[in-house]
Amino acid sequence: MKPEGIPLKLINDVATRRNSTFYMFERLVTLSEPLAATVGLLVNPINLSTQKEEWTILKELCQILKPFEAIIVEMSAEKQVTLSKVILIIKGLLSSLERTKGKVLSQVGKTVMNSLLASIISRFGNPENNLIMGKASFLNPRFKTKAFSNEDNLKRVKNKIQDELVVLIKRETEHQPTGTENETASGINENTTDPSDNTENYDMIWQDFDKCVKSSLHVKAQLQSPLLRSKCFQKNRIWKEKRIRWLSQLAKKYFCIVITIYKNLH
């Protein structure tokens, strides 16, 4: 029975609903005892004693499909960005399936498990190698470097972010009045000009270097700030802080909802 007292009913899977097969299996397992009692009341009762193995298989399939159900719900968000979660979610899914693998004893369960693991690896490979997902994860104040297990992948993403910041800073400061482009971004003075230098000559030679230094300060500020624990980080006040003004522009570029296409495999 549901908490409201409404009787539970059996569920059929639907080809266009990716979680429906899991919900169908889960409901069958939940109602296994009432179903057995009801079958005994039939005029021509079915012998369920020979189907114990099938019930075991259904329970194992529920264990296998449960993390997929959790991920589908997580990634089906329409008002929360999801791309930055992909790397960690794939790793979490593989880890969850590996923990479940030892509990699966039936041949059917093992076949399904191995097929799903192979499919994940075939489809995603190492998600850290995807530069767009890597940038999104790095910019996410909940994850930053924690999405990366490979130092080379992290370094590549940091360098790409820094290069994009250089372009943003250069584009914005070129249209600013003289003397306003040395605005602080991380609580430290970014003005690298020596007052004794001739400003015009200095700008001709060092302006590109200064923009590179400024971009590295932004990346450093991103790395040094504490991880954000809130799930609704895009509504957090941090995006209004001046020190991440250019980082927030990159966040707008890479924080998006993942588009998923359901393919009927039947």
Co-location of 103 and 153 in the same domain = no
Residue 137 lies in a domain: no
Distance CA 36, CA 49 (A): 10
Regarding predicted confidence, which is higher, 206 or 228? 228
Residue 243 and residue 153 in one domain: yes
pTM (global) more than 0.75: no
Give the pLDDT confidence of 237-257 residue by residue, as tens digits. Answer: 555 555 566 777 888 888 877
Kindly state whether residue 100 falls inside one of the protein's structural domains.
yes
Q: Which domain holds residue 71?
A: 20-125
User: In the chain, which residue ranges form alpha helices assigned H by DSSP?
Assistant: 20-30, 32-39, 52-75, 86-101, 107-124, 131-139, 151-173, 199-224, 245-254
The confidence band for 185, taking pLDDT boundaries of 50, 70 and 90, is very low
Rounded-to-integer distance, Cα 151 and Cα 132, Å:
17
- What is the predicted pLDDT for the residue at 35? 81
Q: Classify residue 43: in a domain, yes or no.
A: yes
Domain-embedded: residue 265: no
Residue 47 confidence (pLDDT): 64
24-28, 31-35, 153-157, range with the lowest pLDDT? 31-35
> Could you read off the pLDDT of 127-161 as tens digits, one per residue?
999 999 999 998 888 888 888 999 999 999 988 98
173-188: average pLDDT = 51
Per-residue pLDDT at 106 exceeds 90: yes
Least confident of 33-47, 64-78, 173-187: 173-187
Number of domains in the chain: 2
Q: Which two tokens stand for residue 115?
A: 């097929």
